Amino acid sequence: MGHAQVASRFDLAGFLAWEAEQHDRHEWVDGEVFAMTGARDAHNRIAGNLYVALRNSLRGTPCRTFMSDMKVYIETADAVVYPDVFVTCDPRDRSTEADLAKRHPTLVVEVISNSTGAYDRGRKFELYRSLASLQEVLFVEQDRMQVDLFRRNDDGHWVLYPAGEADAIELTSLGQTLSVASIYEDVLPAAEEPPA
């Protein structure tokens, strides 16, 4: 997350209209507007790998996959955020009213870097948990093969399913399984082979 940019308060329509005229992306949280900083190569590759895998596996379903330029509006918190990747399967998110911001994601993915980790796992995760439609949140470490999947259980509690390099993650909300290695394809250097 960046630094606060604008002191005035917006409603949703005002924020969307204001941001449409800006050159940079902004999140709107707790009445404040924050400029979003650019991402490193590894961040973009990880997000791209996840987008492609999810988009391809969900073809022919009612689910739609989006990358970092699509907003999610969190009505209960009156906030607008940009997940790195997310999937929505709700028909309301295909209406013309949802052209600028979706409201009903099923899965949200955040790629974690040193500069965004505390915010993504803290306040942003808190905001996401208030979305009734959201079933899973995936935190993907940018600099090492570590993935933390949080899944909402039947009691409404969020349960952690950590996964490492040799593991696969099961996205039950979408009926999909992804290997951790595929998420990091062409991102981190492969381990050096021992000398013969």
Convert the pLDDT of each residue in 113-127 to its tens digit: 888 888 899 999 999
Of 184, 188, 154, nearest to 169 by C-alpha is: 184
Per-residue confidence (pLDDT) for residue 191, from 0 to 100: 46
pLDDT in tens, 90-100: 999 999 888 88
Domains of the chain: 39-183 (3.90.1570.10)
Asked whether the CA dihedral 42, 183, 104, 114 is positive or negative, the reply is: negative
Percent of the chain with pLDDT over 70: 91
Query: Alpha-carbon distance 26 to 98, whole Å?
Result: 18
- Is the pLDDT at 3 greater than 60? The verdict is no
Closest CA to 140 of 49, 6, 59: 49
